[in-house]
A and B are shown apart, each in its own frame.
Chain A
Amino acid sequence: MSAPVMQHPSSTPTLGYAAGIGTIFTLEIRQRVRSSGWYIMLGIWFVVIAAVVGLAALSVGVDGFGAGQMMFELVVAFVLLFGMLIAPALSSNSITGDRANGTLAILQNTLLTPWQLLIGKWLAAWVASLGFLVVTIPLIAWAMTYGDVYLPGVPVLVGMLALELAIVCAIGVGVSALANKTLFAVLISYLLVALLGLGTLIGFGLSMKLVQVEVKASEQFWSEQNLNGDSSVAWDDNAYSCGTALYPQTIFATERNTWLLAANPFVIVADAAPRPLPKPGDDSFTTVGPMGAISQGVRLSQAGQLASTPCINGIKNTEVKPEEATPLWPLGLGLQLLLAGSLLVAGRRKLHTPAGKMASGTRIA
């Protein structure tokens, strides 16, 4: 009972802002790294991705074209896909779990502020989900050995991927602070992530009816040397002229509804990445892999179907100057940050103690 006296200042103790966040972060990570389920999940993850990338290497590598880029983009797409599936589970348990465990009130009773708690939990969930990116580094390195990966795109793709995981984790932690039951928190987080991933696609698809327009198209006339004999032509923008017999054609003015796709995580990551400029005189694809395909698809959709209709009102569409496509990802990222930010702010209000209003059937401790 007479242990040595510990000297500590008699003034009121204070807790530094970063120190509080750091303590919560360490507390979370410690618990995470001690669960064996975590390592099993990472192991399975690595095997699955390695198999997919390996198969891609085999099938694409046959003609030796674009194998590295394909493999790299597959890794990015898979990490993003599984990140969307795993990150909500990692983060939405973080506060509801403490609530159920009776440990949340203990943390709230210290000098810790709600923001420190939220930020610490969010950083921990983010770092944990980045683990899924880190274990794929050997596969990315493998893709690099093919030498055809477009290097300026690599840091952007990886960085945006990490940013998307951070946003999903913020959504999960925010929902977790708001919800009283873990199951409910997980469910709502998944629904919100599905809203971004699938809801944007569904919204885009359903809005097609609204952007349906009728235009007057006309036939194209090709010079002899472009006709291949069968019904196909060797495309050349300068080698056709438009007929004067106009007929109505229904097209979709997708330049008006493509913004609905903006908040899609895949669109944000793909759209933000720089693309190699097509070499002059080389018509071959400049994009291989899923991210490139998404990027190109979105750019085409932004241009609108009108842009790819050769003859409108008897005029070649190449004579109508196409509008410069503005990048879509800043809008999407803004929407996502707004969603995640408002969830965190609402969660912070819920975590404020002394607690005022409380949902029925809940208790502080």
Chain B
Amino acid sequence: MKSEVPSPAGPLGRNQHGQGGISATGLARSFGRVHAVENIDFRAAPGEVTALIGPNGSGKTTLLLMLASLLRPDSGSITVAGMDPVANSSGVRAVLGWMPDTLGVWESLTGREILTTMAALYGMDKKSAAQRAAELLKLVSLGDLADTPARVFSRGQAQRLSLARALINDPSVLLLDEPASGLDPGARVQLRTMVRQLADSGKTVVISSHVLAELDEMADAAVFISKGRTVRSQTLAEAGEQTRGYTIGTLDITALRETLQARGIEASYVQDFDSARGSAKTRLATEAEAAALLAALVAAGVPVTAFAPSSGLLEETYLSLEEGAS
């Protein structure tokens, strides 16, 4: 996973100790009678972005809290960078960066003060703390607001400060809980680039999000959980190989229907009621098959205006799991 990161020793990636990523097996945790996590197996490799996907209340945050050494699992075992968070919590915390889904900021403190305070809590001296804080504020584009009280931050700004905070100790394992929520489109692109760079510099990155299309672009692997259980783990390459839905737009729905039927492809059709325009939805097994179909349609003279997957790779898996569950 070596890529074009400017310098392996840039602000994002220096600390290479604690190889091993995250490995968790048979995790369970309940709160009273609520079984938040029933049986989760989870793996995240160094140098990769692992997406954690699941509906609301499926146990994503509980899992991340256990990985972050804040919650003790009722059963199962966890290894983070080669250490057990229950037995050696301070060892894990030293190499871990955790960005919670709640925006915890000290409102009367400035962004710079929050970061230097956090740096101090990781045992950094004043000078390097100040330097690190300045570096990270610049990285998350909060340089102009560095000395403004966090009270006036917008949600997106607080979110970026929270990311900077999670990076303060230059962690080798990074847990991001819904990092994109509240960010504007520009900041989302920036976050995506940053997350990619962090992983490429050798860090283990776990990211939970609802915006599946976004995860397509940065994740290397995905773990799907539902009702406190791991329902599937797959790499993005695997996801690309599964049957996908495609939407084909055309100016002449009749011609499209005839060509598809001639090739024996089942599809559902939608036609505009005042013109010949319309679209067809179908399922294709591989990307090669999709390319061949498009070529055939064009060769047959069907006026195709759009030919694209109906949903993202991860969304496809997510939806197929939901179908399977119901």
Would you call B138 and A3 a contact (CB within 8 A)?
yes
- Determine if B165 is an interface residue (Cβ-Cβ < 8 Å): yes
Q: Which of A10, A15, A26, A107 contacts B123 (CB 8 A)?
A: A15
- Determine if B204 is an interface residue (Cβ-Cβ < 8 Å): no
Would you call B70 and A105 a contact (CB within 8 A)?
yes
Would you call B11 and A1 a contact (CB within 8 A)?
yes
- Determine if A358 is an interface residue (Cβ-Cβ < 8 Å): yes
Mark interface residues in B1-16 (1 if CB within 8 Å of A CB, else 0).
0000011011110111
Would you call B86 and A354 a contact (CB within 8 A)?
yes
Q: Please give, as numbers and ranges, the residues of chain B lying within 8 Å of A15 by CB-CB distance.
A: 121-123
B112-120, B244-252, B313-321 - interface stretch: B112-120
Would you call A354 and B32 a contact (CB within 8 A)?
no
Q: What separation, in Å, do the CA atoms of A12 and B171 have in the docked complex?
A: 11
Q: Please give, as numbers and ranges, the residues of chain A lying within 8 Å of B122 by CB-CB distance.
A: 13, 15, 110-111
Give the Cβ gap from A332 to chain B, nearest Cβ, in Å. 37
Q: Contact residues of B with A, CB < 8 Å? A: 6-7, 9-12, 14-17, 31-32, 61, 65-66, 68-72, 85-86, 89-91, 93-96, 98, 100-106, 108-109, 113, 117-118, 120-124, 128, 131-132, 135, 138-139, 149, 165, 169-170, 197
Given A102-B102, A111-B94, verify A354-B72 contact (CB < 8 Å): yes
Would you call A8 and B128 a contact (CB within 8 A)?
yes
Would you call B108 and A101 a contact (CB within 8 A)?
no
State the majority secondary structure of interface residues on A.
loop
Give the Cβ gap from B12 to chain A, nearest Cβ, in Å. 8
Q: Which of B31, B108, B118 contacts A110 (CB 8 A)?
A: B118
Q: Please give, as numbers and ranges, the residues of chain B lying within 8 Å of A10 by CB-CB distance.
A: 15-17
Known pairs A13-B124, A111-B123 / 13 extra A-B pairs, C-beta < 8 Å: A2-B7, A5-B7, A5-B10, A7-B128, A10-B17, A13-B169, A23-B117, A31-B109, A106-B118, A110-B169, A354-B69, A354-B85, A365-B102
Would you call A354 and B121 a contact (CB within 8 A)?
no
Q: Please give, as numbers and ranges, the residues of chain B lying within 8 Å of A110 by CB-CB distance.
A: 93, 118, 121-122, 169
- Determine if A305 is an interface residue (Cβ-Cβ < 8 Å): no
Q: Which of B89, B100, B128 contacts A354 (CB 8 A)?
A: B89
* A-B pairs under 8 A by CB, number: 134
Would you call B10 and A1 a contact (CB within 8 A)?
yes
Q: Please give, as numbers and ranges, the residues of chain A lying within 8 Å of B65 by CB-CB distance.
A: 364-365
- Determine if A85 is an interface residue (Cβ-Cβ < 8 Å): no
Q: Look across to chain A and name the residue whose beta carbon is closest to the beta carbon of B69.
A: A354
Q: What separation, in Å, do the CA atoms of A353 and B93 have in the docked complex?
A: 11
Q: Please give, as numbers and ranges, the residues of chain B lying within 8 Å of A1 by CB-CB distance.
A: 6, 10-12, 139, 197
A-B contact pairs, 12 of them (CB 8 A): A3-B10, A3-B135, A8-B124, A15-B122, A31-B109, A34-B149, A109-B96, A111-B122, A354-B86, A355-B70, A356-B72, A365-B65
Would you call B104 and A105 a contact (CB within 8 A)?
yes
- Determine if A243 is an interface residue (Cβ-Cβ < 8 Å): no
Give the Cβ gap from A68 to chain B, nearest Cβ, in Å. 41
Would you call B100 and A106 a contact (CB within 8 A)?
yes
Q: Please give, as numbers and ranges, the residues of chain B lying within 8 Å of A102 by CB-CB distance.
A: 100, 102-104
Q: Contact residues of A with B, CB < 8 Å? A: 1-8, 10, 12-16, 19-20, 23, 26-27, 30-31, 34-35, 101-112, 353-356, 358, 360, 364-365
Would you call A13 and B138 a contact (CB within 8 A)?
no
Given A1-B6, A30-B109, A365-B100, verify A111-B90 contact (CB < 8 Å): yes
Would you call A3 and B139 a contact (CB within 8 A)?
yes
Q: Please give, as numbers and ranges, the residues of chain B lying within 8 Å of A8 by CB-CB distance.
A: 124, 128, 170
Q: Look across to chain B and name the residue whose beta carbon is closest to the beta carbon of A24.
A: B121
Would you call B128 and A6 a contact (CB within 8 A)?
yes
Q: What separation, in Å, do the CA atoms of A5 and B13 have in the docked complex?
A: 10
Q: Please give, as numbers and ranges, the residues of chain B lying within 8 Å of A106 by CB-CB distance.
A: 98, 100, 104, 118, 165
Give the Cβ gap from B64 to chain A, nearest Cβ, in Å. 9
Give the Cβ gap from A255 to chain B, nearest Cβ, in Å. 52
Q: What separation, in Å, do the CA atoms of A1 and B249 have in the docked complex?
A: 42
Q: Look across to chain B and name the residue whose beta carbon is closest to the beta carbon of A22.
A: B120
Given A1-B139, A364-B70, verify A103-B105 contact (CB < 8 Å): yes
Q: Look across to chain B and name the residue whose beta carbon is closest to the beta carbon of A2.
A: B6
Given A12-B94, A105-B100, A106-B100, verify A35-B108 contact (CB < 8 Å): yes
Would you call B10 and A30 a contact (CB within 8 A)?
no
Q: What separation, in Å, do the CA atoms of A3 and B91 have in the docked complex?
A: 28
Q: Please give, as numbers and ranges, the residues of chain A lying within 8 Å of B17 by CB-CB distance.
A: 10
Would you call B104 and A103 a contact (CB within 8 A)?
yes
Would you call A111 and B121 a contact (CB within 8 A)?
yes
Q: What separation, in Å, do the CA atoms of A2 and B138 have in the docked complex?
A: 10
A-B residue pairs, 8 tightest by C-beta: A102-B104, A102-B102, A354-B72, A110-B121, A103-B104, A15-B123, A34-B108, A13-B123
Give the Cβ gap from B146 to chain A, nearest Cβ, in Å. 14
Q: Please give, as numbers and ranges, the residues of chain A lying within 8 Å of B95 by CB-CB distance.
A: 12
Give the Cβ gap from B162 to chain A, nearest Cβ, in Å. 9
Q: What separation, in Å, do the CA atoms of A360 and B34 have in the docked complex?
A: 9
Q: Which of A30, A34, A360 contacts B31 (CB 8 A)?
A: A360
Q: Look across to chain B and name the residue whose beta carbon is closest to the beta carbon of A103.
A: B104
Give the Cβ gap from A360 to chain B, nearest Cβ, in Å. 5
Q: Which of A16, A19, A31, A355 contacts B108 (CB 8 A)?
A: A31
Give the Cβ gap from A28 to chain B, nearest Cβ, in Å. 10
Q: Look across to chain A and name the residue whose beta carbon is closest to the beta carbon of B104.
A: A102
Give the Cβ gap from B97 to chain A, nearest Cβ, in Å. 9
